[in-house]
Amino acid sequence: MKLVREENTLLDELERISSRQVIPACRESVTLTFKNRKDYFGHGNSLNMVTGEEIADSAKPDIRVDSIITPLDRLGFRIVKRLFDVVGAILGIVLTLPLCLIITILIKMDSQGPVFYCQTRVGKNQRRDRRRTSSEDSVGNSRSRERRRENCYGRTFTLFKFRTMIHDAERESGPVWAKPDDKRVTRFGAVLRKMRLDELPQFLNVLSGEMSLVGPRPERPKFVTDLTDRIDGYSLRLLVKPGITGLAQIEGGYDSSEATVTRKLGYDLNYIKTWSIWLDIVILFKTVKVVLTGKGAH
């Protein structure tokens, strides 16, 4: 690559090397006007101008769902994490059962509607665990890709929560993020959300293998589809099982906008890349602090 500053020098250089591409030394696209335009363009060739930003964009790697390395790729670590989840979920159910009974009574006293709120969420993408070296099933693989599109890049499951909003809160609005001082949240629901106690029924999701104690929070199919299209690397969150709590949750609170999701994605990817049982333990202890203080919740 040669740096030229003069118009005539530029034309001479282009003619010498038979180049058809110019990179202006600026960020924005520009238009060059040559006095001797016919000297170069008279050959019937066009001059392709690209900016540094366009080159950078073209050099960006195509981020795929399997393009990140995590310790949980190893079977031994996945077994350790699963055992940790099962033991933790059983202990969690036993220790919080009296509290859950009290919450059930208070929810019924506070507002009309069911005690539990069930919602479809997107879980782990199973592609990495199911890699095949043979091509015997090309038709089956094509069908699998179609199912993945329908399932929003991961396996869907039913997530359980204590209801914190009025019954059928999204009947008119459709799927939307909760906001500070959301009018749909009930009086007792606000307390549950602040202390994160509405997540306690998800110990059942952990026992069933759909979730983990710690991991990226599971999101709804509509949001996963939209955010994957708009935020680079968002689908990488699905490389591991979603969790009741996670690094992004204790650092960033609930999702309330695309900006907060983008910021929290860094925490999720850092967790995935640096996972260890010790990290899970630290996050769980910090979650207890969040529960007691209400930090980051609304």
Q: pLDDT tens for residues 185-227?
A: 899 998 998 888 999 999 999 999 999 999 999 999 988 998 9
pLDDT digits (tens, 9 = 90+) for 161-191: 999 988 876 666 666 666 667 778 899 998 9
DSSP result, 202-222: GHHHHHTTS-EEESSPPB-HH
1-57 pLDDT, tens digit each: 555 555 555 556 655 655 444 545 544 444 444 444 444 444 444 454 544 444 334
One domain, residues 240 and 123: yes
165 beta partners: 185
Q: Is the pLDDT of residue 135 over 50?
A: no
Same domain, 114 and 236: yes
In a domain, 179, yes or no: yes
Lowest-confidence region among 18-22, 84-88, 250-254:
18-22
Say whether both 35 and 84 belong to one domain. Answer: no
Q: Is residue 1 part of a domain?
A: no
**Does any domain span residue 66?**
no
What's the pTM value of the predicted model, to 2 decimals?
0.69
pLDDT for 288 beyond 70: yes
Domain check: are 43 and 155 in the same one? no
Q: Which amino acid is at 231?
A: I
Largest CA distance in the chain: 87
Asked, for residue 160, whether it belongs to a domain, the answer is: yes
Domain membership of residue 105 as a residue range = 71-130+138-293
> Residue 11: its pLDDT value, please?
56
Question: 54 and 151: one domain?
Answer: no
Is 64 among the domain residues?
no
% of the chain surpassing 70 pLDDT: 61
One domain for residues 38 and 86:
no
At 85, list the tokens.
């989840």
Residues 53 and 81 grouped into a single domain: no
Residues 40, 169, single domain; the answer is no
* Residue 116 pLDDT: 94
Q: What's the pLDDT score for residue 14?
A: 54
Does residue 78 belong to any structural domain of this protein?
yes
Structural domain includes residue 227: yes
For residues 40 and 101, membership in a common domain is answered with no
Query: Strand, helix or coil at 118?
Result: strand
Question: Is 152 found in the same domain as 14?
Answer: no
Same domain, residue pair 18 and 123: no
pLDDT at 16: 61
Mean pLDDT throughout 130-142?
A: 45
Total domains in the chain come to 2
Is 65 contained in some domain? no
Q: Say if residue 121 is in the same domain as residue 21.
A: no
User: Which residue has 């969420």 as its token pair?
Assistant: 121
